[in-house]
Amino acid sequence: MEKDKIKILLVDDEPDIIEILSYNLKKEGYQVFSAFNGKEALAQVEKVKPHLIILDVMMPVMDGIETCEIIRKDKRHQEIIIMFLSARSEDYSQVAAFGVGADDYVNKPIKPKVLNSKVNALLRRFLNSEVSSEIAHGDLTINLDEYKVTLKDKKILFPRKEFELLRLLASQPDKVFKRDVILESVWGNDVVVGDRTIDVHIRKLREKMGSNYIKTIKGVGYKFVINQNN
């Protein structure tokens, strides 16, 4: 997909931030839309159907965390990429953001070139994937092309990072993936996240699939198991 067909929604209560980011993203060739709080953002999601949302945490009317949570709960919007851009750098804010399904979290201030680089990387992974296959283990099927997971004939919806984490682990059953490998493979070298982020996503996978598919290897990382008696 060409850049001029890609839609980005900026959500921030500071008009200056919106103006600066909008200017630079439009220079990159993207279509850019804006909202000044979470409630306006939800309306824009329905109207515009963006590919990517850049979302502030602290906003009036409805904050970014609640906004992201509402979007992720809507089956129609599971494929939207959500990146938080916030002045709040506390660990709990980042954990909360990833906990409701964020794909990335970046602290303000950020240089336009750095932001454009992150946006390009997120959209490249989202739109230009050439993989078209499945991972199948017993009653579990992971459709890599359509980002769909079926377990015992029941479809399970996963936000993008949860899906990518499951895909990584399930790609090599019984292999122990170290935490640093998981961080690099799922979030990339250019994204700073903590170990708790992995724990939050593993917990969510287990809540949706059951606790037997993913085993914790204490002090090392995680592995996916086919024989759940192991």
Give the pLDDT of residue 188: 75
Would you list the domain boundaries of the chain?
3-127, 134-224
User: Tell me, what's the pLDDT at 130?
Assistant: 46
What is the predicted pLDDT for the residue at 228? 56
The model's pTM is 0.60
- Within the chain, how many helices (H) and strands (E) appear? 8, 12
Instruction: Give the Cβ contact number of residue 19 at 10 Å.
Output: 13
Beta-carbon count within 10 A of 38 CB: 25
The architecture in CATH of the region 134-224 reads: Orthogonal Bundle (1.10)
pLDDT, averaged per 10 consecutive residues of the chain (230 residues), comes to 86 94 92 96 95 93 94 86 84 85 86 85 64 76 87 91 93 88 79 76 94 91 76
Tell me the fold of 3-127. Rossmann fold (3.40.50)
Contact between residue 135 and residue 167 where contact means Cβ atoms under 8 Å apart: yes
Amino acid in position 153: D
Report the distance separating Cα 159 and Cα 152, nearest Å. Answer: 20
